[in-house]
Structure 1
Amino acid sequence: MSKITVPSKQTALFLDGLQGNLTLGATNILTPGPGQLLLKVKATALNPVDWKIQKHGIFYKTFPAILGTDAAGDVVAIGEGVTKFKIGDQVFCQGRFTKEYATFQEYTLADEWHLAKIPTNISYDQAATIPLCLATAFVGMYNVIPHGMGLVNPTTPTGQGHYKGIPFVILGGASSVGQFVIQLAKLSGFSPIITTASLKHTSFLQSLGATYVLDRNTPTSALKSQIAEITDNKSIQYIYDSISSSETQKTGIEILSPGGNLIVVLSPSVTSQDKRVTYVLALRALDQNVELIKGVYAVLEGWLEKGVIQPNKVDLLPGGLAGIIEGLRKMEQNQVSGVKLVVRPEETPENAK
């Protein structure tokens, strides 16, 4: 495809200060440098970290800031040295906590090695549900100790099916991260795969690979007994807590066997002398994550095309970037279950800009 004309200005959703307000405004569109690409964002997804940044003042120190870490869209410009992609490619990527790579805007930068093409069986909206939560699941499971569980990486065929007959427990399997953990556990061969969730999600989670779906409201002692019965009292060495409230962390550490690994996605509130608790931070630019996530993006198009990995269910919000504010409120109020909130920046009303 020939060169695409890119405007000089765009609309973005700004956080105006520490624990401040979200407002729409104009900002410059950047030119990609070496190894970078410029994307027109067709869809971006909301994550819990977005409302937590606004409420708790984490990760950002310079304002106004632009949030958002999931993008799907079209390549509209390419920087020097980029060879894997061309203008017009439909792609998706994980953003970063910087204005240049944030995704709550009409255009964003991407890095060549942390970018994948969208296969024809996946929409922009679906692709936008994948990056951050898949990275969170993958880093927690396959990064080396102390950054993850240190499991055998399944991006090569010899790494798949490695854990046959070994149980794996997910707390919060219907969450966006939990859904990807279930699928990766299946890819790695774990069995049985046991997850807690609202039972209304049972059929869907089983379709992703869960062997058993247990009621998330089950008391810890009863849940521990159910898991022991399912596994014939096998040692529980791997638990991924995709919720990581103080309550679920207590549940996880209680169920985990000595020597086991508990992954949490929020700051640890539990400790143990003989059990490892690991807080996963899936920022793609962290030194310990760069090559691991690069390896995922190298195979991700094929995994999606074959159905090895399936995206989250989409709940499309109206209003484009303006719809993010209400979406984050719903997430903070725990009014979202089993779906991923997505907006299309190009649907932002002109009178809202």
Structure 2
Amino acid sequence: MSDVNTMRVISQDALGGPEVLKWVEVERPAPRPNEVLVRVRAAGVNPTDWKHRANGGFLGAPPFVLGWDVSGVVEEIGIGVATFKPGDEVFGMLPYPFGHGSHAEYVIAPARALVHKPAGIDHTQAGALPLVSLTAWQALVETADLREGQRILVHAAAGGVGHVAVQIAKARGAQVIGTASAGKHDFLREIGVDEAIDYRSTDFTEAVRDVDVVLDTIGGDNALGSLRVLRPGGIVVSILPVGSTDFYEEAGRLGVRAVRMLVDADRAGMRAITDLIESGSLRATIAGAFPLADAAKAHELGETGRTTGKLVLLAD
């Protein structure tokens, strides 16, 4: 741990592969009004991290510090913060995309992006969950209005967003179809998938019909194909926010709905996620946990595309 005025972060001066990530010592920030300084204990690593590392994405040119998930301990509060005090254990997602910076020993967060960490889970679990859980919650509940008895198809159901979406869908009483390679089907059944499809050997557009909701985590032709498995009036929610207008045009032709979305920080959503955690309905599967200094190794593993669940960095 650095001295009281500095902190170490994982930063980069250039776009590129995992090797551009490096330890850097910087000045420790102070919270402004309605902000909280959090001592990071764990921070999830998501596909958006390695995509931004490689191409800049929404963030443009480096230097920058990645990371949107955070679980940790309140170190200091800014003027006007009434819901937290130093020493509180908190977790949440920094505002996406411009609130990044949790791959560090400390991070500034808007107070309203955080909630108290459930006592029943550790920081590794809590650091894994916010971004993927809010993504799934906002897609399935707020956008698609998934209800009991409906049928949902979750693509890449063993992935970070996918395995959380399965659990949220089951908690809402839906019937879940999930795609994954055959070797992950036992895992899918363990988390509640009712019907598993091996995307390598089966064309889901031929195997699935009349679903109410599709969660598209892949984009491109996968999003277009997903429109064809919906019942009339059904909806595909894609978490890939940019793509061809064919997606919307085909939806109109078929009489179904097509939506692209980006996750957004949200205290109400985090409270809903907390309720699911505390009821035992939601838990992250940890694909790997790495010391913060080994962020590059986490990126390397994530970019294989073969992980099950979530990767986490630990900043003890």
Query: Taking structure 2 as the reference length, what is the TM-score of the superposition?
Result: 0.87
- The number of residues matched between the two structures is 306
Deviations 1:49-106 (A, max 9, x none): 1111122221113531111111111111112222222211111111246887511110
Q: Does 2:260 align with 1:283?
A: no
Q: In the alignment, is the contact (CA less than 8 A) between 1:195 and 1:214 conserved in 2?
A: yes
Distance 1:98 1:27 in 2: 22
Aligned to 1:343: 313
Look up the SS of the partner of 1:85 in the other structure.
coil
Q: Deviations over 1:269-289 (max 9, x none)?
A: 5521333322221132xxxxx
Structure 1 or 2: larger strand share?
2
Which of 307, 320, 324 is equivalent to 2:295? 324
The residue identity in structure 1 corresponding to 2:275 is G
Question: How far does residue 19 in structure 1 lie from its aligned partner after superposition?
Answer: 5.0
Pair 219,300 (structure 1): closer, same or farther in 2 beyond 3 Å: closer
Deviations 1:101-154 (A, max 9, x none): 5111100012222212222221111111101111111122233xxxx33x16xx
Query: Do 2:286 and 2:312's aligned partners in 1 also have CA atoms closer than 8 Å?
Result: no
Moved over 4 A (4+): 97-101
Could you list the runs of 5+ residues in structure 2 that have no partner in the other structure?
none
Secondary structure of 2:233's match?
coil
1:256 aligns with 2:237: no
CA distance in structure 1 between the aligned counterparts of 2:25 and 2:3, rounded to whole angstroms: 15
Please point out which of 215, 228, 241 is paired with 2:216. 241
Does the 8 Å contact 1:39/1:109 carry over to 2?
yes
Q: 1:265 pairs with 221, 226, 239, which one?
A: 239
SS of 1:88 mapped into structure 2: coil
SS of the residue aligned with 2:170?
Answer: helix
Q: How far apart are the structure 1 equivalents of 2:46 and 2:141?
A: 22
Identity, % of aligned pairs? 25
- CA RMSD of the aligned region, Å? 2.4
SS in 2 for 1:73: strand
Residue of structure 2 in register with 1:90 after alignment? 89
In structure 2, do the counterparts of structure 1 residues 9 and 323 end up closer, same or farther at CA, with 3 Å as the change threshold? same
Cα offset, 1:330, TM superposition: 2.5
Where does residue 54 of structure 1 map in the other structure? Answer: 53
Question: Take 1:164 and 1:99, find their aligned partners in 2: how far apart are those partners?
Answer: 35
Pick from 166, 171, 178 the counterpart of residue 150 of structure 2: 166
8 Å Cα contact 2:9/2:24 also seen in 1: yes
Q: Distance in 2 between matches of 1:17 and 1:164?
A: 48
1:6–1:76 contact (8 Å) kept in structure 2: no
Whether the 8 Å CA contact 2:94–2:113 is kept in 1: the answer is no
Shift of residue 225, structure 1, vs aligned partner: 4.6
How many Å apart are 1:224 and its aligned residue?
4.1
In the alignment, is the contact (CA less than 8 A) between 1:126 and 1:314 conserved in 2?
Answer: no
What does residue 303 of structure 1 align with?
A: 276
d(CA) in 2 for partners of 1:6, 1:84: 27
Query: In structure 2, what is the equivalent of residue 42 of structure 1?
Result: 41
| Contact 1:12 1:66 survives alignment (8 Å) | yes
Secondary structure (helix, strand or coil) at the match of 1:295 reads helix
Structure 2 residue aligned with 1:209? 192
Unaligned stretches of 5+ residues in structure 1: 153-162, 229-234, 285-292, 347-353
Calculate the TM-score normalised by the size of structure 1.
0.79
* TM-fit CA distance, 1:6: 7.4
